[in-house]
A and B are shown apart, each in its own frame.
Chain A
Amino acid sequence: SQQGEEDPQALSIQEGENATMNCSYKTSINNLQWYRQNSGRGLVHLILIRSNEREKHSGRLRVTLDTSKKSSSLLITASRAADTASYFCGGSNYKLTFGKGTLLTVNP
């Protein structure tokens, strides 16, 4: 079963705006991870949040985790055109599975 379903499927914003993406998962997890994929390339790890953490920051990224609701959110602040990519979340117990991703377009 997939341990990560992203929402929305697509998001289009202007440069400088914030982008928020959500993720839901089905069963208990050790951690939840967010990845970015630029067109035609492999996924790149962004941030990992453990099940006992509620919030984590990394540069312009802020991730929250609510284990009671089995959900997570990724906030990208002050977005740039270079942030245009697909974003995936994956929940891990002993194997990491992903959802279908959110396609973020940041317009200059």
Chain B
Amino acid sequence: NAGVTQTPKFQVLKTGQSMTLQCAQDMNHEYMSWYRQDPGMGLRLIHYSVGAGITDQGEVPNGYNVSRSTTEDFPLRLLSAAPSQTSVYFCASSWGQYNSPLHFGNGTRLTVT
């Protein structure tokens, strides 16, 4: 049972480039979310989804797009990378939106130069 899988583990981008961070879960979880973690800032919620076809914004959504075409996958897109998006990104999933613990992936470390 793989759980939550994030790819790539590391990525370096130049300012203005675009890329997609992949997240897949094999637990048939309805709820998925993306966080970024920066030193001194803790984890901040970027976007989340309560099911296929449904997404919503979190605390820091600007500069990021998401879609949820299947239950398993929840990719995070950076359309035009900026140095301020240098961070560690975590994807998480859970059974439901309420009263369910989150299962986290091991993160993608992104550097934008």
In Å, the complex CA distance between A41 and B44 comes to 16
- Please, which residue of chain B has its CB at the minimum distance from the CB of A43? B104
B45 touches A95 (CB 8 A): yes
Fill in one digit per residue for B1-37: 1 if any A CB lies within 8 Å of its CB, else 0.
Answer: 0001000000000000000000000000000010100
Given A42-B90, A95-B33, A98-B42: A48 touches B99 (CB 8 Å cut-off):
yes
In Å, the complex CA distance between A45 and B40 comes to 21
A/B pair count, beta carbons within 8 Å: 62
User: Does chain A have a CB within 8 A of B51?
Assistant: no
Give residues 76-107 of A contacting B (CB, 8 Å). Answer: 88, 92, 94-101
Contacts of B102 in A (CB 8 A): 33, 35, 43, 45, 96
Given A2-B59, A95-B48, A97-B59: A42 touches B107 (CB 8 Å cut-off):
yes
A97 touches B45 (CB 8 A): yes
Contacts of A95 in B (CB 8 A): 33, 45, 48, 56, 58, 97
User: Does chain A have a CB within 8 A of B65?
Assistant: no
B43 touches A30 (CB 8 A): no
In Å, the complex CA distance between A42 and B89 comes to 9
Chain A residues in the interface with B (C-beta under 8 A): 1-2, 30-31, 33, 35, 40-45, 48, 50, 88, 92, 94-101
